[in-house]
Structure 1
């Protein structure tokens, strides 16, 4: 069903569907020494501190058309940050609702308004490093949960542009049900075939993508791994010109294994991917 402003379903009471978007991103870096590792962690903590994350989530709130009720934010020691925003119903722009229901990338950002209630947006960051292999990673987990007519997938385009991302894992689920005026249950109120349809073409061209969707359960999953690899983008504070070819090859192998393990959710040994329970 392709819903437009003229074809909107008339509901009995409020739209009780809960739509949840989980956006997980990973940034990977090679930090050879303890000093490089500390500098990288400090850079991440400064770049993605609680204040900046609050600004990002506040913009997400604008995109989905909500009002902020409360903000809780915290920077942690030795590293990491968290922000939680409770949001409430925003004004409804009838002319924009058809666009809000279409399967297309959202704004970066613009004035989008929609009807929301009992909703929240959260982010948690996880900088970490391998104890002796020179690999450092930064992970950010963002959850956008809304009740109402708009899908939080409209915030995905902005979130992708807000982080430097090597790996993305995106999950979307519609839960519960609402009723039309005849009492008929609706378990989803918009068409969706893939999360990829909410990602702009220029971003899709940059990533290898895998979909795992359970349509009968309204569960959608997409994983993305950056296609182009330039070693200079993964060295912290210097370029590959300082390395001999053997070092370049060794570091490149470590970084690509790290990316593959995160992307496929498996560990690598002797050149083969395997699960811990295999």
Structure 2
């Protein structure tokens, strides 16, 4: 199918396939005292405030060659932030080379695509466990495009901008576009896995699992960091402040939290 599109198949009207990437990240830490847990929430709220999130989405729009039509953003009380952007195709770039090649996209460099009445959104969810010291932060980003280029082209930039313990990604192509002879085309590019759009250095750092429904053009990939260093998970302290027994207990809590989020289920024991 994609080979047909690479030969510049004539379409009846606009390519109105909708391609949506849902990109979710999780950051996990251990904050020992109620004060440290509150400070972690405040740190995350400042680090990922609406202004910084707007900058990230602006860069995503630049990578996929979109014009930003409107921005709505809000910092919430007591915590959290949201940003929504309405984007449209860039008329100045529509004649440049478009690509759907199944390979990692760029980092800060721009890439051209063809968009119309599409959107970018991000929402954040910091929270902490009231008893066992575990605190987590989740950010949900949705990139929805209409046209030829997939939002997966922005994936590399998002992963590097939001270095995280766990990343989950869902990609779906919806609707159809019609050729001049009346035939329907339900996808316009080759894709075997979201992993093919992720750089090799990232794949080396993460354990990765795919769940794909090719018949429905639904693709799912989730990633979990392979290497564990307890110091990377301690907020407001380090291992030198802890006994070996405390280190063991905290390690067990953090790893249990990580596995439960990664597999999407509670783990007993």
TM-score (norm 1): 0.94
Alignment of 1:79-228 (within 5 A): 79-91=79-91, 92-97=93-98, 100-228=99-227
Structure-1 separation of matches of 2:122 and 2:160: 16
User: Are the equivalent residues in 1 in contact too, given 2:5–2:188 (CA < 8 A)?
Assistant: no
Q: Is the 8 A contact 1:5 1:95 kept in 2?
A: no
- Report the Cα offset of residue 111 of structure 1: 2.1
- 1:250 is matched with which residue? 249
* Contact 2:20–2:144 under 8 Å retained in 1: yes
Contact 1:3 1:101 (C-alpha < 8 Å) held by counterparts: no
Provide the rounded CA distance (Å) in 2 between the counterparts of 1:164 and 1:39. 20
Write out per-residue CA displacement over residues 76-104 of structure 1, whole angstroms, 9 at most, x where no aligned residue. Answer: 0110000000001113455531xx21001
C-alpha distance in structure 2 between counterparts of 1:79 and 1:163, whole Å: 18
1:241 Cα deviation (Å)?
1.1
Instruction: Give the aligned CA root-mean-square deviation in angstroms.
Output: 1.3
Q: Secondary structure at the match of 1:267?
A: coil
1:42 aligns with 2:54: no
User: Gapped runs of 5+ residues in structure 1?
Assistant: 271-278
After TM superposition, the structure 1 stretch with the greater mean CA deviation from structure 2, 100-109 or 84-93, is: 84-93
Deviation of the 1:114 alpha carbon: 1.6
Deviations 1:88-136 (A, max 9, x none): 1113455531xx2100111112121221001000000000011101000
User: What is residue 237 of structure 1 aligned with on the other side?
Assistant: 236
Shift of 1:182: 1.2
3-state DSSP of counterpart to 1:138: strand
Distance, in Å, in 2 between the alignment partners of 1:200 and 1:4 is 27
CA distance in 2, matches of 1:168, 1:127: 16
Residue in structure 1 matched with residue 67 of structure 2 by the alignment: 67
Residues 105 and 197, structure 1, Cα contact 8 Å, conserved in 2 = yes
4+ long deviations beyond 3 Å: 1-6, 91-95
Match of 2:268 in 1: 269
Partner Cα distance (1:205, 1:111) in 2? 25
Change (3 A) 1:122 1:203: same
* CA distance in structure 1 between the partners assigned to 2:256 and 2:90 by the alignment: 45
Q: Provide the TM-score with structure 2 as the length reference.
A: 0.97
- The CA distance in 2 between the partners of 1:10 and 1:162, in whole Å, is 38
SS at match of 1:101: coil
CA distance, structure 1, for counterparts of residue 10 and residue 239 of structure 2? 60
In 2: Cα distance, 1:154 partner to 1:94 partner: 18
| Counterpart-to-counterpart distance in 2, 1:264 and 1:160 | 20
Shift of 1:250: 0.2
**Change over 3 Å in CA distance of 1:4–1:245 after alignment to 2:** farther
Question: Within 1, Cα distance between the matches of 2:107 and 2:199?
Answer: 11
The question of whether the paired residues in 2 share the 8 Å contact of 1:82 and 1:124 is answered with: yes
Contact 2:9 2:179 in 1 (8 A): yes
2:2–2:188 Cα contact (<8 Å) kept: no
Tell me, yes or no, if the aligned pair for 2:206 and 2:225 is still in contact at 8 Å. yes
